[in-house]
Structure 1
Amino acid sequence: MEQTLKKKDQKQLNKWLNGMKAFELLYKASRDGCSNTVFHQKCDNKGPTVTVFYNTSDCVFGGYTSVSWDSTNTYKVDPTAFLFRLYFKGSNSPKKYPTTNGTNAIYGHANGGPTFGAGHDIHSFNGTVALSGRSFPLNGSMAPGTTYVMTGDNAATLACSSLNCYDVEVYSVKDGSVLNEDPWRPVTDSNPKVLKSEIETYSPIDGVKVGRVNILLVGAVGAGKSSYFNTMNSIFRGHVTSQACSGSAEHSLTTNYRKYKVRSCETGKPLKFRLCDTRGLEEAQGLDASDVVAILDGHLPDKYMFNPAVSISPDTPGYKKSPATEDKIHCVAFVMDGCSVDVFPDKILQNIKAIQQKANQRGIPQVIILTKVDKACPYVEEDPGTLFYSSAVSELVEQVSQLIGLPRAHVLPVKNYEKEMELVEDVDVPALISLRQMLRFADDYLYNFLDEEED
């Protein structure tokens, strides 16, 4: 059962809290039971919280405190605490009610639920309240105006004087993302038409017999490798596509090695690069470093079917024993889910490090495609155009840079097309910037190859 607090209501709370906050659901009466014991188990000593009541008169109201709930049967001082109303009889009607001086802001009621103010302004319930039909007839009380400044409002105008509630929720309030005035990564070319044109006219450097460059996408299952190709394909096709299989699954949805072409919607001709998709990295099975070596060196043909139980060898059907430079990988892109950085599996990290070592031995440049960054920042989720202004994304880039051991400039955050039905320019721009950077790095690889040939 998911939280009830809507995104726009979180935005309203953020205005009152003077910042961007993250709301994590700690307690939900309809899920956890309406009980003082469960409330204290889940909410005591958790720092700042927001409590929200949803009553049967279609009023949504509650309170915020920056101090922790406890079971000491004592009042707490909190000058930042406030009561609030979000909806009145179903209509959006936000209003904030500050505390008078901060004393008696909340009460750590051992035998009760969330309790605000002396008197009490809002006392939710005592003991355990059973569900009656679809609601909880809370046995507490409301006398707002004792500790909080109601500016003419009262229990009737706050909540229709009703504590008969469909639900009671308590959220942990943590520091979230903020938007910087200046971009953390200045982008001079943010026009998607200019970026598209630059990529459409791209051609590998002269002097090397390479008609197009190969970019290898490597990442854990579900990181967004195939979705990244679909995003790039969508941009150049002119509408959202799903050519590569993508989605959520226990094991990799990619079973073949694919050298995907991206075609210009104007000419229909393939552009001069390939996005090479592989099986996802897994802790127990999937692509390993030895398999990747065969790919890096150009031994595998397009559409090669992976067999997790058998490693690739010169005896593998279709194995190219004498690959040309055009068959090899010219840039490696590690695709990482921005939501899983804090819990990244050690086994998969070890695989990535092993692949890095093999790529470094061959002088192959590497980048990180950081996907799902919109999930890391509510601002970016609402407006992808804020990606390069988001402090949360900037911190994530720094974290991934240190985890993988690549410079920040090699970490390229993107939002793949997932829920959208039509193209969005602010989604296109970071994706195009990431692709352009990989093409430039691929040229660096070719320049090194050319230097060696000339020497």
Structure 2
Amino acid sequence: MSAVTSSLSTDQQKKLLSFFGHVRLHLLYKASIHGFTAAAFHARCDKQGPTVTVAYNAAGFLFGGYTSKDYAQSKQAVHDAAAFLYSISAEREKPLRVECVQGQPAFIDESTGPHFGALVFLHGDQPAAQNNPSTSFNVEAAEMHGYDLVLTEFELYRVEDLGDLLPKPWRNIQWTSEKRKQLMTTILRYKPDIKTMNHARVLLVGAVGAGKSSLFNSINSAFRGNMTCQAMAGTAETSLTSQFRTYTIKVGKSGGAIPLVLCDTMGLEENADAGLNIDDIVSIFKGHIKDRYQFSTSSPILEDAPGYRKHVTLNDKIHCVAYVVDTCKVSLLSPKMLDKFAAIRKKANQLGIPQLILMTKVDEACPLVAEDLKNVYRSVYIQQKARQLSESLGVPLSFVLPVKNYCEELELDQNTNILLFMALEQMLNYADNFFENQVADDPEDKIQQEQHRSNDHLRRVSPKHDEHEVV
């Protein structure tokens, strides 16, 4: 299936947004992809809250209607004082907005296409609109659509209120170079409590396009001191990552590796026969899949496969799972995708693997954060999305961390690095929880673990730096 993307131009989107306050538009339905039928429209658009329809015609008009009420096929006339019709065209400097006549119903909530009285879209399950005389909206057809009722495209967007900035952040962050250095030092000095371990192993799991590979590249860039692109990243309908990859991260161009290994996987997809297989994820958890194993969407890895590791140690296993979720798509996570996340969480819980959630693309999700990344914990919208993820995936809010990947930048940014380092610090803390739950068969091993904890505490409180210099 083709990728579902908006047909709005930058100028058209700007004019459409001018009708509202601080909002974000989420594309729910696109007729050329989902079908020019009322049934297809209602399957994706019912009970979505405030929405705006966007119709395109060959005459260059963009027109439609906004309602703050749900489509629910109630067969009732719905009153909505906030509803309006609109029209946008290149020839018109300002968009046309037509309010609903006071006391009149805004739309008819039927099983047909959107029915605003004056305009009925997807009329007769066709790529067309019907123009009617109406007591609800007084508008001339020529002004609305230039008498061209044949639709070249028809879309519906959910209108989400982004809110404003909170009076105080919901997490207190020190946005200073000292904080960046402190986080970096903590990460570099990390050492697992088990004597046979020298690193923590973290698995990145997420839907196609969530930003898993970009996250690794961003973390790698932050430690290298320059932009890197070691992991394949980009935009595509299917996962760009087709292999299981394990990545080490070096400090500087020729420095040593940090004590954390990031593992990247094929992206999750809605369909059961597409994307990463749940059985393969369990094999990864247990350490059975080797680096560069080529995933198959048709069947999970078999024990006699070349990429299967039969004999595993604690070093091969996954010690923490980080779910990577695109903040812009939190509200659009389908029941099938949520079911996949739930299935993975269940398997991880059974193996005692701690998990956290990384919200990527926070700057794309909220303009206030794009203006200043330090607004990330003051943004009402980002807080709402974090709470929604917490509830949808069944994890505490403290397990949800917003991050920003490097995507178009050519230089590193201190605030971006702070968010990335905070995420790494939590990964290491959670990996420690995994190690602490491991039962040591050798009593001598337990003694050495306690000695290591004592030594590690001394290292962390000492002002001296280790072999890595943090700048």
Calculate the TM-score normalised by the size of structure 1. 0.69
Q: Say if 1:321 and 1:128 are closer, same or farther in 2 by CA, change over 3 A.
A: closer
Q: Say if 1:316 and 1:4 are closer, same or farther in 2 by CA, change over 3 A.
A: closer
* 8 Å Cα contact 1:219/1:334 also seen in 2: yes
| Distance in 2 of aligned mates of 1:125 and 1:178 | 34
Q: Does 1:378 align with 2:413?
A: no
| Distance in 2 of aligned mates of 1:126 and 1:60 | 14
Q: What's the offset of the Cα at 1:407?
A: 0.8
* 8 Å Cα contact 1:240/1:421 also seen in 2: yes
Return the match for 1:349 from 334, 338, 353. 338
Alignment of 1:314-329 (within 5 A): 314-329=303-318
Return the match for 2:172 from 186, 202, 210. 186
Match of 1:208 in 2: 195
Return the match for 1:446 from 405, 421, 435. 435
* 8 Å Cα contact 1:184/1:389 also seen in 2: yes
Calculate the TM-score normalised by the size of structure 2. 0.67
Q: How many residues align?
A: 365
Alignment of 1:137-156 (within 5 A): none
3-state SS of paired residue (2:143): coil
1:423 partner letter: L
Q: What's the offset of the Cα at 1:452?
A: 7.1
Q: Say if 1:349 and 1:62 are closer, same or farther in 2 by CA, change over 3 A.
A: closer
Q: Does 1:280 align with 2:267?
A: yes
| Distance in 2 of aligned mates of 1:213 and 1:188 | 26
Q: Say if 1:295 and 1:386 are closer, same or farther in 2 by CA, change over 3 A.
A: same
Match of 1:20 in 2: 22
Q: What's the offset of the Cα at 1:395?
A: 0.7
3-state SS of paired residue (1:265): coil
1:365 partner letter: P
Q: Say if 1:28 and 1:319 are closer, same or farther in 2 by CA, change over 3 A.
A: closer
Match of 1:176 in 2: 162
The answer for unaligned runs of 5 or more in structure 2 is 1-6, 27-50, 68-79, 107-134, 149-156, 447-471
* 8 Å Cα contact 1:73/1:109 also seen in 2: no
| Distance in 2 of aligned mates of 1:419 and 1:53 | 31
> Mean Cα displacement is larger for which, 420-429 or 46-55?
46-55
The answer for unaligned runs of 5 or more in structure 1 is 75-106, 114-123, 131-170
Superimposed CA distance per residue, residues 118-153 of structure 1 (whole angstroms, 9 cap, x where no aligned partner)? xxxxxx9378368xxxxxxxxxxxxxxxxxxxxxxx
* 8 Å Cα contact 2:84/2:100 also seen in 1: yes
Q: What's the offset of the Cα at 1:334?
A: 1.1
Q: What's the offset of the Cα at 1:30?
A: 7.2
Q: Does 1:250 align with 2:237?
A: yes
Q: Does 1:292 align with 2:278?
A: no
Alignment of 1:30-109 (within 5 A): 31=57, 33=59, 39=63, 42-43=65-66, 47=82, 60-61=93-94, 68=100, 109=137
Q: What's the offset of the Cα at 1:174?
A: 5.7
* 8 Å Cα contact 2:180/2:417 also seen in 1: no
| Distance in 2 of aligned mates of 1:190 and 1:64 | 46
Q: Does 1:401 align with 2:403?
A: no
| Distance in 1 of aligned mates of 2:386 and 2:310 | 39
2:82 partner letter: G
Q: Say if 1:452 and 1:346 are closer, same or farther in 2 by CA, change over 3 A.
A: farther
> Mean Cα displacement is larger for which, 236-245 or 43-52?
43-52
Structure whose alpha-carbon radius of gyration is higher: 1
3-state SS of paired residue (2:65): helix
2:358 partner letter: I
Match of 1:241 in 2: 228
| Distance in 1 of aligned mates of 2:16 and 2:372 | 16
Over aligned residue pairs, what C-alpha RMSD do you find? 3.8
* 8 Å Cα contact 2:242/2:294 also seen in 1: yes
